[in-house]
Chain A
Amino acid sequence: MATVQQPIIIDGRPLKEQLARAERRKKYVAFAMVLPLLLFILITFAIPIGSMLFRSVDNPRMITLAPQLTAELSEWDGQDMPPEEVFEAAVKDFKLAAEAGTLGRIATRVNYSMAGARSLIVKSKRKFKNVTEGPYREVMIKADKRWGELDTWKTLKKVSVPYTPVYFLNAIDRDLDGDGNIVKQPSEKRIYVKLFVRTLWIALLVTVLTLILGYPIAYLISTQPPRISNLLIIMVLLPFWTSLLVRTTSWIVLLQTQGVLNDLMVWMGVISDDGRIQMIYNLQGTLIAMTQILLPFMVLPMYSVMKTIPLSELRASQSLGANPFITFFRIFLPRSIPGIGAGGLLVFVVSVGYYITPALVGGAKGQMISNQIAFHMKSSLNWGLAAALGTILLVGVLVLYWLYDKVVGIDKMKLG
């Protein structure tokens, strides 16, 4: 007898609906538990970073400080000398800015794109003070003949757009010329591409060095009985727990020319007293200190993979006729690759964004991209460029993070 399946009804409601409702409620409960942290991270972390990165294309200064000039410049086609209206707007805006005390900021912004623009604009404060009527063009050219040059106005037009690719172009050693073409920076200003390459190179070297140094000890720890391996693990964890600044201080003490290592070598007669080796405040210093600091990040993931490789597999290999070397290369090494991947990616990601150690022990040659970002944030105050460099760095790091998630899985990240 064929029966049509009737929906099950309990207390006047279909069971299916009730089950779905209960499931939904559980979902809300779970989400509600996560929500406070999610909001906290969004507000204190994600949004600040997002809005900072926006500065890499945002160009609000001219629009807010010289609104008439910006409006007139956007009308101008940029081919021939601009019309009288542009000159009039320039004089009026500069006068207003001078009264409001913001002329210096306009000057600084234009100066990023045109050497000498600062003095040109600041000078106008005095020159334009008594100008009340046109023709403004003649007045300006009389004040400084650079106002009669097409390039000056092209630069002004360039810096007055609301969104600009210039910071990103600068971050890869390019610039816009007066006609809006992308050109290379003059060779003495081409530093960022080189710096990015050096940053990646340092990160790669640190990753390789930590792998070379970390693999043997991870192997040793994973093959020892618990009593010894616990002790060895603590020797790896202690540096991990020790303050970064303390460890960097130690490396300064050890490596500087009047430091412990040089003294030791002089005492042993390896080098003469005036032949002391410069081991710090250069690339080498950054490499040594970063390798030591990041070594635990390499050892711990490798160890946690290695200890899961069963002894019986290695014994099986030997019983099948493979000597310890073949067993290592054909069984142990391939089985430990997930650990190498996890540790390597982690070390690489962390070292790409390293800041403190290079700043303290890197000298000029051991600086990384983070140090340049800090420089533009704190000293040159070229925040747009800092944001552009930061965006490029962050995109790189996020790609690596995504890769780490694919290869290892972020929920498998372990601490100690």
Chain B
Amino acid sequence: MDKSAREAYVSFNNVQKSYDGVNLVVKDLKLDVQRGEFMTMLGPSGSGKTTCLMMLAGFETATSGDIILDGDAINDVPPWKRDIGIVFQNYALFPHMTVQENLAYPMQVRKVSKSDIEDRVKKALGMVQLDGFAGRRPGQLSGGQQQRVAVARALVFEPKLVLMDEPLGALDRQLREQMQYEIKHIHENLGVTVVYVTHDQAEALTMSNRVCVFDDGVVQQVAAPNILYEQPDNAFVAQFIGENNTFLATVKEKNGDQCVAQVDTGETLTALAINIGQSETKTTLSLRPERVTINPNAGEFKNVVSGKVKELIYLGDHIRTRLELCGQDNFIVKVQNAARHSHLLEGETVQVGWHIEDCRALDAL
């Protein structure tokens, strides 16, 4: 909580949520979001992230704990008084209203004057590049266009906060990537605070200032995308974000921030000690596939083991190489398809090495 010096804009203070009175869906949640930040809640389905969003929006009630927005506890504020714009998973555009009427709706219920409404609707449509679509009904729009209208509607009344609940889930891959950049740019231009929910880690890394990884109702790590990728706090985060090679090993000795661990086949490896117990306890060693070098120069790396090439998959920019080493046969190495790279053969035995800093000893999975 190094940033707690600055006043948080949104905060969850020890929030719990249970639907049935027995199981907690959200366990003791503490989370701060800064003003103007793009915060993503990332996690597998059922991890409690959407429940958190719905509590923030006011459609679910927290079982205990406080939710603060801009300095006020909003637990007892009904949704229609919270001033929070939401982009829903299925857009939730009103099919019986035109795009114009959909966008005008939040201002009409706030009794904004007619001419103001028109100006703002026009501006909002311009922002999402849908000028000229005001008279259409949602049913006459493509999925991507509906998505833009939903974003415009959540922003048009200048809410204190914008929530997005897997808004891009229904779009095809290409459109989804395009919309990611558009939403990111809108956020940058308007400086509005966004809380975004997704289960797609690439999406989370692309768009967010910070990402909050959820699992089983508990926050696993809150950090900027690069830190999350390169310095995961625990095995779940390491597994969930990006691709990862893991070894189950036993801790042998601990030297400052490093440790030595032995895998079941006998090789000893040195790793950064992030999240381990005492000697002779189990740990998970985690290593990114692109940080591994095949046939390194002697002495370049501390960790060098030999393995056997099992499978080569040609992927254009790199060759995905599956090796058998340290007793497991799904060790993945991404070999860059550079001009000078030496061609590997299936069945060949090679040396692989990596830096100590790239291998992290995390909690035992």
Contact = CB atoms under 8 A, between A and B. Distances in A.
A310 B96 contact: no
A330 B106 CA distance: 12
A8 interface: no
A313 B94 CA distance: 7
Contacts of B59: 315, 318
B289 interface: no
Given A313-B92, A315-B59, A320 B85 contact: yes
A23 B248 CA distance: 65
Contacts of A317: 94, 105
Given A322-B80, A323-B80, A316 B88 contact: yes
A321 B80 contact: yes
B78 A320 contact: no
A30 B58 CA distance: 55
Contact of A312 (B83, B85, B90, B95): B90
B343 to A, nearest CB: 45
A321 B86 CA distance: 11
B92 A316 contact: yes
B151 to A, nearest CB: 13
A225 to B, nearest CB: 11
A326 interface: yes
A334 interface: yes
Interface residues of B, number: 27
B82 interface: yes
A338 to B, nearest CB: 10
Interface string B79-123: 111111110111011111000000001100110000000000000
A320 B158 CA distance: 10
A335 B154 CA distance: 21
Contact of A321 (B83, B93, B94, B96): B83
Nearest to A319: B86
B157 A321 contact: yes
Given A321-B83, A330-B105, A315 B92 contact: yes
B94 A318 contact: no
B219 interface: no
B105 A323 contact: no
A372 B154 CA distance: 61
Contact of B85 (A310, A313, A319, A330): A319
B153 interface: yes
A326 B81 CA distance: 13
A-B complex: 10 closest residue pairs judged by Cβ atoms: A320-B106, A316-B92, A312-B92, A318-B79, A319-B86, A322-B109, A312-B88, A318-B80, A313-B92, A321-B109
11 contacts: A310-B90, A310-B92, A312-B92, A313-B94, A315-B86, A318-B58, A320-B105, A320-B109, A323-B80, A323-B109, A326-B109
Interface of A: 310, 312-313, 315-324, 326-327, 330-331, 334-335
Given A319-B84, A320-B105, 20 more contacts: A312-B88, A312-B90, A315-B79, A316-B88, A316-B93, A316-B94, A316-B153, A317-B105, A318-B59, A318-B79, A319-B80, A319-B85, A319-B86, A319-B154, A321-B106, A322-B80, A322-B105, A322-B106, A327-B80, A334-B96
